[in-house]
């Protein structure tokens, strides 16, 4: 779910943005299809090994647990497919810049390219882990694993990957939602700065997933904790800019007073509704995240259901609901038809938000009371766990609502193609224009060269010793534990 | 609606300063908690060979569980392995500093004790050490909190906190949950 839904959605949306925002054909569409096919083949390999019980290592692998090599090779293919996407995005942006010298790259494309750059940096950690440690062990070429090293390499990827998933939702916040609401983007520059901040602060923070690990010192843990605090800033900037953009829409539609503009927004439009629901869930998910990264306080919640609740709220809730809304928004121009039922789209979005809240809220509470995560079943006969039962039942009910919503989402897309709707040919997707479109964009916010240098410096500061220590101290290794035979 | 680029830029800048300020306040609180009441995560980089820890040294079977040393310090040693804790129940005194030391001979495990600061990963190759003080007597849940294989759900232990008056080490300084 975490790899497949996100990677395929992000690739598809990126190709769409590259064509619709730049108004030029995609470079090398055959390569794009190759990336897609690699992703599909990889996914089949992963799913087959998981379903046949040859890869019960979950999607963070947990070496020295070792699965069938087919599982890891499948993941590699998915990642390689996404690398093709990254290169195509950067080539598309460079071509446009060459054809339009001195012009700012359209924001939607600039942000998509930022995500491609972020993803190339992000995948280095897991790629090194898989290619040099895990896959040799899976083939039986090595018998032991340096567990601290694998955990550290995976942590390199582990946090930035969620920003890779998140950025498409933010692209919709900045460039689609204000347009859908009938307003303007409050500030193009602030949007660019936020995406750059994600690129800079999203990467050198992975050790905050290892606060409770014995193989790192308090020093490097605190350095990365400080950088993690900064990662809250681009989200808080986004809250302001997107709210202000929506306010312009509400006021243009006649909303008055301090809060009157909120009621004046066109909530019947799925993109506007999804943005509202997404922001609502962002408060809970964001708050949970601030607790998680709080170093000492992390001991209260590490590996409890609180963490599951946090990322379901922020990823499953805030981000995925925007994936739905984006799909609804771009499907008419892909299918060449108007939506058969916008009401069903609204119902689907509401069910998703309500289901996610009902499912995740009990987990926050149970997590604070010590309910651990990644557990198949609890011993409810144990007096210290028996009181969890009713809360788990509530959570399960929320899960059922989510299943219904997901099925309805698929139906809503299929219905574009099966129902012979009146077929009003829809207008092509438009992106929001800035309130002050003439504002000059500095060259630094129209490219990535400078920022890549900064990322390199930050990553060197945050990760060089934490990785090098395993080669200096040479800790004892663990014996490979196969789960596939 | 008046659209004034200068006033927009001003309100934007104010918000940005306010948000950076809020982040700095959080950072200050976290750093204070780490320096003053010493709320730090477990970070002793201390190695142990997972393949030989059961044969010799601190974590052989005789040394597991709670032990009081000559200076009166209380240490509880536990081996976590697929899919149980050894021992599955430990006794600790109330209102005394207790040091927990965990090791794993096989794969990654982790654990927490509900309602305390005990929360650590157990990574093969390392000793995980946590200090705590229990303020209430009673049986507390200590489940494995990291996926360690298909039996992970069944991996649960308990910590029995007893008042100091009932905490009676034997001649070797050891205290166990049940009489053998």
Phi-psi region of A68 (alpha: psi -120 to 50; beta: other; left: phi over 0): beta
Contact B41 A298 (CB under 8 A): yes
Smallest CA–CA separation between A313 and chain B, in Å?
A: 21
Per-residue pLDDT, A433: 87
Q: Considering the domain boundaries, does residue B170 fall inside one?
A: yes
Task: Say yes or no for a CB contact (<8 Å) between A229 and B27.
Answer: yes
The answer to whether residue B48 sits within a structural domain is no
Residue B9: pLDDT over 90:
no
- In Å, how far are A177, B41, B123, B161 from A155, measured between CA atoms? 33, 17, 15, 36
In-domain check, residue B47: no
Q: Which of B16, B24, B43 has the CB atom closest to A221's CB atom?
A: B43
The answer to whether position B46 is within a domain reads no
Q: Find the residue in B nearest to A251 (Cα).
A: B1
For residue A49, give how far its alpha carbon lies from the nearest alpha carbon of chain B (Å): 15
Share of chain B above pLDDT 70, in %: 96
Q: Inform me whether the pLDDT recorded for B123 exceeds 90.
A: yes
* Chain B residues inside the 8 Å CB shell of A439: 5
Please give the pLDDT value at position A422: 56
Which residue matches tokens 């299929």?
A414
Residues in chain B closer than 8 A to A469 (CB atoms)? 45
B99 assigned to some structural domain: yes
pLDDT, residue A68, reads: 96
One domain for residues B85 and B118: yes
In this complex, do A378 and B153 lie within 8 Å of one another by their Cβ atoms?
A: yes
Query: In the A/B pair of chains, how many CB contacts fall below 8 A?
Result: 211
From B22, B43, B145, residue closest to A218, measured CB to CB: B43
**One domain for residues B34 and B85:** no
**Backbone dihedral angles phi then psi of residue B111, each to the nearest 5 degrees:** -160, 160
pLDDT at position B5 is: 65
Contacts of A57 (CB under 8 A, 6+ apart): A65, A66, A67, A71, A483
Write out chain A residues lying below 8 Å of B118, CB-based.
299
Helix, strand counts (H, E) of chain A: 18, 4
Ramachandran sector of residue A89 (left: φ over 0; alpha: ψ -120 to 50; beta: rest): alpha
* Residue located via tokens 């605190």: A222
Mean pLDDT over B17-29 rounds to 92
Tokens matching residue A305: 């259901």
Q: With contact defined as beta carbons under 8 Å apart, do A38 and A77 qualify?
A: yes
Residue A254 CA to residue A268 CA, distance in Å, equals 16
Write out chain A's pLDDT in tens, 485 residues: 678 899 999 999 999 999 999 999 999 999 999 999 999 999 999 999 999 999 999 889 999 999 999 999 999 999 999 999 999 999 999 999 999 998 999 999 999 999 999 999 999 999 999 999 999 999 999 999 999 999 999 999 999 999 999 999 999 999 999 999 999 999 899 999 999 999 999 999 999 999 999 999 999 999 999 999 998 899 999 999 999 999 999 999 999 988 999 999 999 999 999 999 999 999 999 999 999 998 888 999 999 999 999 999 999 999 999 999 999 999 998 988 888 899 999 999 999 999 999 999 999 999 999 999 998 888 888 888 899 999 999 999 999 999 999 999 999 999 988 866 556 667 788 899 888 877 789 999 999 999 999 999 999 999 999 999 999 999 999 999 999 88
Q: Angle A147-171/A320-335 helices, nearest 10 degrees?
A: 50
Q: Which residues of A173-184 are buried (b: 16+ CB within 10 A; e: fewer)?
A: bbbbbbbbbbbb
d(CA A224, CA A226): 5
B15 within a domain of the structure (yes/no): yes
Residues 6+ away with beta carbon under 8 Å from A405: A348, A351, A352, A355
| Helix-, strand-, coil-residue percentages of chain A, each rounded to 5 | 70, 0, 25
Is residue A463 part of the annotated active site? The answer reads no
A13-61: pLDDT as tens digits: 999 999 999 999 999 999 999 999 999 999 999 999 999 999 999 889 9
Average pLDDT, chain B: 92
Q: Catalytic one among A163, A324, A448, A470?
A: A163
Confidence (pLDDT) at B22: 92
Tokens 């060979």 map to which residue?
A: B49
B100 domain residue, yes or no: yes
One domain, residues B74 and B152? yes
A258 CA to centre of own chain: 33
Distance CA B103, CA B49 (A): 10
Q: Are residues B134 and B93 in the same domain?
A: yes
Same domain, B170 and B97: yes
Do B105 and B135 lie in one domain? The reply is: yes
- Chain B residue numbers with beta carbons less than 8 Å from the beta carbon of A54 are none
From the list B45, B114, B119, which residue is nearest A212 (CB)? B119
Tell me, yes or no, whether B72 and B105 share the same domain. Answer: yes
The answer to whether the CB atoms of B22 and A370 lie below 8 A apart is no
Tell me: do B68 and B119 sit in the same domain. yes
CB contact under 8 A, B123 and A213: yes
Mutate which of B11, B30, B161 to disrupt the A interface (most A C-beta within 10 Å)? B30
Q: Among A56, A215, A375, select the one facing B123 at the smallest CB separation.
A: A215
Q: For A362-416, write each residue's pLDDT tens digit.
A: 999 999 999 999 988 888 888 888 999 999 999 999 999 999 999 999 999 999 8
**Assembly ipTM:** 0.92
Token digits for A136?
A: 């040799």
Q: Which of A184, A192, A310, A329 is catalytic?
A: A310
Report whether pLDDT(B180) > 50: no
The reply to whether B70 and B2 lie within a common domain is no
Given this model, what pLDDT does residue B1 score? 47
**Do B90 and B119 lie in a common domain?**
yes
Confidence (pLDDT) at A336:
86
**Total domain count for chain B?**
2
| Cβ atoms of B47 and A478 closer than 8 Å | no
| CB contact (8 A) between residue A214 and residue B44 | yes
Claim to verify: residue B19 and residue B67 sit in the same structural domain: no
Q: Answer whether B107 sits within 8 Å of A478, measured CB to CB.
A: yes
Shared domain check, B94 and B154: yes
For residue B45, being part of any structural domain is answered with no
State yes or no: is A159 an active-site residue: yes
Maximum CA extent, chain B: 85
For A85, the token pair is 């996407």
pLDDT attached to residue B148: 95
Q: Please, are residues A64 and A480 in contact by the beta-carbon 8 Å criterion?
A: yes
Range of the domain at B106: 61-175
CATH of the domain at B141: 2.60.40.420
Q: Helices (DSSP H) in chain B: which residue ranges?
A: 5-35
Interface contact flag, B42 A374, Cβ < 8 Å: no
CB distance A218–B40 less than 8 Å?
A: yes
Which of B41, B102, B129 to probe by mutation at the A interface, max A CB count within 10 Å?
Answer: B41
């Amino acid at each position: 779910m975490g790899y497949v839904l996100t990677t395929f959605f992000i690739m598809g949306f990126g190709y769409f943005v590259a064509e619709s925002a730049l108004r030029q054909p995609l470079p090398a569409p055959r390569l794009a299809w190759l990336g897609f096919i690699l992703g599909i083949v990889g996914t089949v390999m992963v799913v087959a090994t998981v379903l046949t019980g040859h890869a019960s290592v979950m999607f963070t692998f947990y070496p020295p647990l070792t699965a069938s090599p087919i599982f890891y090779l499948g993941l590699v293919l998915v990642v390689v497919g996404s690398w093709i996407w990254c290169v195509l995005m950067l080539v598309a942006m460079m071509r446009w810049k060459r054809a339009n010298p001195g012009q700012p790259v359209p924001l939607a494309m600039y942000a998509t390219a930022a995500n491609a750059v972020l993803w190339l940096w992000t995948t280095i950690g897991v790629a090194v882990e898989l290619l040099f440690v895990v896959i040799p062990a899976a083939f039986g070429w090595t018998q032991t694993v340096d567990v601290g090293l694998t955990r550290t390499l995976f942590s390199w990827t582990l946090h930035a990957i969620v920003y890779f998933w998140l950025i498409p939702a933010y692209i919709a916040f900045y460039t689609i939602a204000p347009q859908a609401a009938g307003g303007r983007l409050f500030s193009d520059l602030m949007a660019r700065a936020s995406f750059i901040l994600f690129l800079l602060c999203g990467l050198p923070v992975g050790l905050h997933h290892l606060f409770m690990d014995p193989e790192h010192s308090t020093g490097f843990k605190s350095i990365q904790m400080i950088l993690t605090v900064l990662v809250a800033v681009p989200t808080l900037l986004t809250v302001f800019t997107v709210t202000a953009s929506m306010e312009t829409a509400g006021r243009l539609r006649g909303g008055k007073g301090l809060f009157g503009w909120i009621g004046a927004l066109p909530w019947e439009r799925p993109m506007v509704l999804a943005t509202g629901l997404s922001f609502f869930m962002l408060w809970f998910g964001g708050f949970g995240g601030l607790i998680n990264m709080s170093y000492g306080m992390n001991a209260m919640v590490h590996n409890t259901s609180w963490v599951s609740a946090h990322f379901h709220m922020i990823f499953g809730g805030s981000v995925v609901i925007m994936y739905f809304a984006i799909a609804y928004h771009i499907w008419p121009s892909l299918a060449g038809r108007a939506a058969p039922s916008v009401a069903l789209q609204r119902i689907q979005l509401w069910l998703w938000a309500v289901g996610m809240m009902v499912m995740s809220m009990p987990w926050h509470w149970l997590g604070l009371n010590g309910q651990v995560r990644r557990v198949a079943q609890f011993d409810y006969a144990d007096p210290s766990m028996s009181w969890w039962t009713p809360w788990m039942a509530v959570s399960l009910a929320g899960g059922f609502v989510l299943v219904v919503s997901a099925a309805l989402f698929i139906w809503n897309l299929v219905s574009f193609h099966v129902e012979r709707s009146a077929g009003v040919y829809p207008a092509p997707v438009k992106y929001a224009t800035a309130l002050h479109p003439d504002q000059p964009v500095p060259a630094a916010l129209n490219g990535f060269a400078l920022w890549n240098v900064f990322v390199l410096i930050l990553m060197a500061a945050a990760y060089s010793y934490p990785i090098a220590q395993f080669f200096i101290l040479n800790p004892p290794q663990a014996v490979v534990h196969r789960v596939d035979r | 609606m008046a659209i004034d680029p200068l006033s927009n830029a001003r309100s934007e800048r104010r918000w940005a300063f306010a948000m950076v300020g809020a982040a700095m306040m959080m950072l200050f609180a976290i750093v204070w908690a780490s320096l003053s009441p010493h709320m730090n995560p477990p970070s002793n980089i201390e190695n142990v060979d997972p393949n030989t820890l059961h044969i010799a040294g601190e974590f052989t079977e005789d040394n597991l569980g709670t032990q009081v040393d000559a200076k009166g310090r209380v240490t509880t040693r536990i081996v976590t392995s697929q899919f149980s804790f050894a021992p599955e129940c430990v006794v600790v005194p109330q209102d005394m500093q207790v040091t927990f030391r965990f090791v794993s001979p096989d794969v990654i495990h982790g654990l927490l004790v509900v309602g305390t600061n005990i929360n650590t990963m157990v990574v093969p190759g390392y000793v995980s050490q946590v200090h705590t003080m229990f303020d209430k007597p009673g049986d507390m849940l200590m489940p494995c909190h990291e996926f360690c294989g298909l039996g992970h759900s069944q991996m649960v232990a308990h910590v029995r906190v007893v008042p100091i008056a009932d905490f009676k080490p034997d001649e070797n300084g050891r205290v166990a949950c049940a009489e053998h």
